[in-house]
Amino acid sequence: MGKPPRVTVLGSLNMDISVTVPRLPGPGMTVLGDAARFTPGGKGANQAMAAARLGAQVRMVGAVGDDDFGRQLTEALGSEGIDARAVGVATGVPTGLAMITVDSAGENIITVAPGANHHVGESAAGGIAGIPYDALVISAEVPVPVIRAALELACGTAPGATPCVLNLAPAPPEAPAIVAGGVDWLVVNESEAAAILGLPGIDGMAQAQEAATALTAAGARNAVVTVGAEGAALAGLSVPKATPKATPKASPKAATQAVAVGGFKVTAVDSVGAGDTFVGALAVALAAGVPVLDAVRAAVAAGATAVTRHGAQAGMPRPADILATTGLRWPLSWS
């Protein structure tokens, strides 16, 4: 059966304040919702939680404030067996907050006050290089210099040897330059891919496949563009030349082909955390050596399961949940 893969996550930790409303408000509108829920979140912490629940041994690197929210966030990580010793405490700075509004269809609006996440220093990235791991995840709610330092120190020595997954969500203004500098695995959604490529938008799987191919030309060794309920588009050097389970789409001059990995039919109640679940699941599968297309399909199934449950970390699935919801058996098990 082997040992659980080791996954290190460099990213944000936030306290999520969520309210469910009948419909999302427009500019100048006030919409009444239910009682506010305070739950642990932040893209980095969410990805760490997803990875831990799917069988990885996880270490979290980031920062919280010296306040009750910060203590609650680190305690939540510890309750899932995540090593939070590399989560620093920023004195005199509040813990990050995310204000989330979710409608009856599961769509959401999120506003983030970064707080301590913007006090993660480049020294945190330097420390990653000395920590053994089988996959590294970097998310974009920490300062860009930290992202650059982590990519250079931890992912630049032997590209592809150990999976390094960069989730540029949200995509910072420097995103095109970051990708041009070289990325092992880039994971973004349609709007983030459009921002990186300078496009007005990306709509649907066909355009997502074209975008994934364009992202590999822009500097990503492998690129994944998630497409909500439709699944994900994948392009890159690790993609097999042909497969009966995926739909190829690439121009004759493209250096890599793009494939569509289909989604699963589920009833969505809350999409918050689904993308983070996808990233965490993909990192675990890649770290364990699961074939690339199987790894992406497993990540799609994990994300689909997450949208059927309320909350970010509260909705992160375990293997049994994925099987019950999508019929896909999680491809890893440990003795």
Q: What share of the chain is helix, strand, coil (3-state, %, to 5)?
A: 35, 25, 40
In a domain, 78, yes or no: yes
Catalytic residue of the set 83, 134, 270, 276: 276
The low-confidence residues of the chain, meaning pLDDT below 70, are 1, 155-160, 241-256, 334-335
Q: How many CB atoms lie within 10 A of CB 270?
A: 24
SS (H, E, C) 35-89: CCEEEEECHHHHHHHHHHHCCCEEEEEEEEECCHHHHHHHHHHHHCCCEEEEEEE
Closest CA relative to residue 3, chosen from 79, 55, 54, 66: 55
Is the whole-model pTM more than 0.85? yes
Residue 102 located in a structural domain: no
Alpha helical stretches, state H, 99-220: 122-128, 144-155, 175-180, 190-197, 204-218
**pLDDT of the residue at 156:** 58
Residue 242: predicted pLDDT: 54
Q: Which domain holds residue 146?
A: 43-95+122-326
Note whether residue 108 is domain-resident: no
The domain that contains 258 carries what CATH number? Answer: 3.40.1190.20
Rounded to the nearest angstrom, the gap between the alpha carbon of residue 152 and the centroid of all alpha carbons in its chain is 20
Dihedral pair phi/psi, residue 270, rounded to 5°: -165, 115
Per the domain annotation, does 112 fall within a domain? no
Residue 276 a catalytic site member: yes
Strand-by-strand arrangement of the 247-249 sheet: 83-90, 57-65, 6-10, 135-139, 164-167, 183-189, 220-226, 231-236, 258-262, 247-249
pLDDT of residue 276: 97
Q: Please check whether residue 16 lies inside any domain of the structure.
A: no
Cα separation, 233 vs 259, whole angstroms: 6
Helices 292-306 and 274-287, axial angle in degrees (round to 10)? 150
Tally of domains in the chain: 1
With respect to residue 12, please indicate whether it lies within any of the assigned structural domains. Answer: no
Question: What was the pLDDT predicted at 160?
Answer: 56
Rounded to whole angstroms, how far apart are CA atoms 131 and 170? 26
Would you say residue 210 lies in a domain? yes
Separation between Cα atoms, residue 169 and residue 16, nearest integer Å: 16
Supply angle C-alpha 180, 48, 149, rounded to 5.
35
Write the CB contacts of 157 (distance below 8 Å, at least 6 apart in sequence). Answer: none
Whole-angstrom distance, CA of residue 14 vs CA of residue 95: 7
